[in-house]
Amino acid sequence: MAMTVTRIDRGSTATTTIYSEGGDLTFERTFDAPRALVWRAFTDPELVPRWWGKHGTTTKVVEMDVRPGGRWRYVSSAPDREDVAFFGEYLEVDPPKRIRWTFMFEVDGADPMGGPETHSFEEIDGRTRVISVGHMGSAEVIDGALATGMVEGALETWDRLEALLAEL
């Protein structure tokens, strides 16, 4: 018997599409910048703090070894909450087309949440479509992650990335 997977809109805007299908959570956005520049923004530890996180947050790149087996760790700070650590390991790095990593995060001392995540970078007429798919395993895990404010944070983060790309 075939399993039916329902696509659920998770808070899309005019520029970013967010949806889940089964155990995957997908974010898509097309940036008005060439792929090489978008790739650099994702892989340069000097640039990541300039766009990672919601407005009003600061991010510190603690570790960032962009190669298969390399580890990464960012710490996001804000005046109204405890620090949030994001971390994982690079599983695949295929410049400038694809990054696959484990994406984990810790909020308020709870057990880390997350799983493998794939970022694909597709150049379309000088612009770059980024598709980020978090392989979270189940709709229940996605719902738990979304309860932390993930959608709002992702939308603001990608808005900040768009602004940085325009500046560069």
Rounded to 5 degrees, φ, ψ at 14 are: -65, -25
pLDDT of 166 over the 80 cut: yes
Question: Which pLDDT belongs to residue 2?
Answer: 53
Across the chain, what does the average pLDDT equal?
Answer: 89
Handedness of CA 12, 31, 48, 63 (dihedral sign): positive
Domain that holds residue 70: 24-136+147-167
User: Burial level of 50, CB count in 10 A (0-12/13-18/19+)?
Assistant: middle
Q: pTM, whole model, 2 decimals?
A: 0.88
109-156 pLDDT, tens per residue? 667 777 899 999 999 999 999 999 988 877 787 777 777 777 788 889
pLDDT band at 95 (very low <50, low <70, confident <90, very high): very high
The answer to whether residue 4 sits within a structural domain is no
Task: Specify if 9 maps to a domain.
Answer: no
Compute CA distances 35 → 41, 78, 115, 166, whole Å: 10, 30, 25, 13
Report yes or no on 154 lying in a domain.
Answer: yes
- Whether 8 maps to a domain, the answer reads no
Q: Is residue 14 part of a domain?
A: no
pLDDT of residue 3 exceeding 60: no
Within a domain: 34? yes
Domain count, the chain: 1
132: domain CATH number?
3.30.530.20
40 domain-assigned:
yes
